[in-house]
Amino acid sequence: MKLIPPFHLAIPVTNLDEAQAFYGGLLDCEQGRTSGTWIDWNFFGHQLVTHLVDSMPSSPDDNEVDNNKVPVPHFGAVLAWNDWHDLAERLKTAGVTFVIEPYIRFKGQPGEQATLFLRDPAGNALEFKAFQNPERLFAR
């Protein structure tokens, strides 16, 4: 598989202290540059920037996937299988409220994957997923 360069994503948040607790504390992302209105994060090898806003944009929609209501838009990371399980356990232990609880979806199909959804304190939806066979990431 070709190495994919890191992406850059900027998202709105309404409180930088809450963003720091969530991304830096709960998700254990390394903090990068900061100002009074934004924080850079090493989001699993990618650059995520949380930008302070007065209010969040309109609420997201849902899309039916594998009998679950998946929030749209959302973002996240594809993790190694064991790393996903470690994160899922850490989130459960922390008492996180999931949008979609950790589970294996598309069982027995080419896209079989571990997945979970949660929201950050500002309401941004995140998905973390993993494949036992990473080469199946783009399988049909």
Which residue from 73, 77, 62 is spatially nearest to 113, judged by alpha carbons?
77
Q: Where are the domains of the chain?
A: 8-54+62-136
Using an 8 Å Cβ cutoff, are 76 and 127 in contact? yes
What does the pLDDT profile of the chain (140 residues) look like in tens digits? 567 788 999 999 999 999 999 999 999 999 999 999 999 999 999 999 999 999 988 876 888 887 888 888 999 999 999 999 999 999 999 999 999 999 999 888 888 899 999 999 999 999 999 998 887 777 77
81 Cβ contact list (under 8 Å, min separation 6): 114, 130, 131, 132
Contact 18, 50 (CB under 8 A): no
- Would you say domain 8-54+62-136 falls under CATH 3.10.180.10? yes
